[in-house]
């Protein structure tokens, strides 16, 4: 019988994290530790405010009847389908269970997700980005130096519609590496994008993520038609069922385990995205190493990976060690 325990914690950022949604100093999280005899699996439900899910919501979902029976099923499709029937309304809780169950499954089978797919679609040396929240020049310089010391060569700049020029010009003055911009729905008019589009195209911007409100697909499509830079959906796409409409507008999708419910649905999303010739980014919500390492197993299907949560959090190592998770 598979057993699991839940552990509520708080991931504390090294710097206040500022995006178009606001500013926060960390993220509530619920870790799951799963055991099958001597094998352990670890999962994580990380809860940025915009998801609208609390730690108590996750604990309530994880206490529902039938979860142990669902986890006893042996194939990912079977256990995920059973878990989804029990928890159809809380994707972070579902993600925590699914990623922990996958870790046990891969330990039992002695393989990797890539090998399970027969390496039919493989992208080696996937570039990883380091996220720069809205910052002044001094703080940005400190973050860039830290990121480079950790081996990062690509950056993602958070824009908010207010400090965009300062972010872009400060970054280019401090750093000459390629970069992406993530607006987190912060723009309200096409003109906001067009005013900086020449700069982005000339200065090696390689993607623009969620420029407008998640429901405003017309503006995103209009921007896509004006530039060769891929326009990537994030908040506009959570479930596999969202893909059909989203891929008609966007050039690709940022897939996150916390949005869709774990590795199993994320894998389905990525295979669908690839089958339609679109771009794929595997992202995180500033999870610890537990969540980011789970997502990392899908990076081989992606053009880019944004899995820098362990580097953004000040207490990542401490919390992982408390749980017995090996870094």
List the chain residues with pLDDT less than 50: none
Whether the Cβ atoms of residue 12 and residue 314 lie closer than 8 Å to each other: yes
Portion of the chain with pLDDT greater than 70, in percent: 98
Residue 234: domain span: 116-323
Question: Do 39 and 123 sit in the same domain of this protein?
Answer: no
Question: Do 60 and 163 sit in the same domain of this protein?
Answer: no
Helix residue ranges, H only, 51-208: 55-62, 67-71, 76-86, 91-109, 113-116, 137-149, 164-174, 190-202
Q: How many residues does the chain have?
A: 327
Single out the residue of 288, 290, 278 nearest to residue 308, CA to CA: 288
pLDDT at 219: 96
pLDDT at 134: 93
Question: Do 101 and 238 sit in the same domain of this protein?
Answer: no
Of 62, 96, 113, which marks where a domain is finished? 113
Question: Do 107 and 123 sit in the same domain of this protein?
Answer: no
Please write the tens of the pLDDT for every residue from 60-100: 999 999 999 999 999 999 999 999 999 999 999 999 999 99
Q: Which CATH number do you get for residue 34?
A: 3.30.390.10
Question: Do 62 and 209 sit in the same domain of this protein?
Answer: no
Please write the tens of the pLDDT for every residue from 235-286: 999 999 999 999 999 999 999 999 999 999 999 999 999 999 999 999 999 9
Question: Do 173 and 242 sit in the same domain of this protein?
Answer: yes
């Amino acid at each position: 019988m598979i057993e699991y325990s839940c552990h509520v914690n708080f991931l504390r950022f090294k710097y206040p994290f500022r995006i178009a949604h606001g500013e926060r100093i960390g993220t509530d999280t619920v870790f799951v530790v799963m055991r099958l005899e001597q094998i352990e699996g670890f999962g994580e439900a990380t809860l940025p405010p915009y998801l609208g899910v609390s730690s108590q919501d996750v604990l309530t979902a994880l206490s529902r009847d039938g979860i142990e029976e669902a986890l006893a099923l042996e194939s990912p499709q079977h256990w995920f389908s059973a878990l989804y029937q029990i928890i159809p309304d809380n994707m972070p809780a579902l993600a925590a269970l699914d990623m922990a169950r996958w870790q046990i499954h891969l330990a039992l089978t002695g393989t990797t997700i890539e090998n399970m797919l027969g390496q039919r679609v493989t992208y080696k040396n996937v570039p990883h980005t380091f996220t720069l929240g809205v910052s002044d020049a001094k703080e940005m310089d400190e973050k860039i130096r830290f990121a480079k010391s950790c081996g990062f060569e690509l950056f993602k700049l958070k824009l908010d519609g207010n400090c965009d020029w300062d972010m872009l010009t400060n970054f280019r003055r401090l750093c000459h590496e390629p970069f992406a911009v993530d607006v987190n729905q912060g723009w309200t008019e096409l003109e906001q994008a067009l005013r900086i589009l020449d700069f982005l195209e000339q200065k090696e911007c390689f993607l623009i993520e969620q420029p407008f409100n998640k429901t405003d697909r017309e503006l995103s499509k209009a921007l896509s038609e004006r530039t060769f830079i891929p326009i990537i959906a994030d908040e506009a796409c959570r479930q596999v069922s969202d893909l059909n409409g989203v891929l008609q507008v966007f050039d690709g999708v940022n897939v996150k385990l916390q949005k869709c419910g774990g590795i199993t649905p994320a894998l389905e999303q990525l295979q669908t995205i690839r089958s339609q010739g679109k771009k794929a980014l595997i992202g995180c919500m500033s999870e610890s190493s537990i969540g980011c390492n789970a997502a990392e197993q899908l990076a081989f299907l992606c053009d880019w990976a944004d899995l820098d949560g362990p580097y953004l959090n000040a207490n990542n190592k401490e919390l992982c060690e408390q749980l017995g998770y090996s870094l």
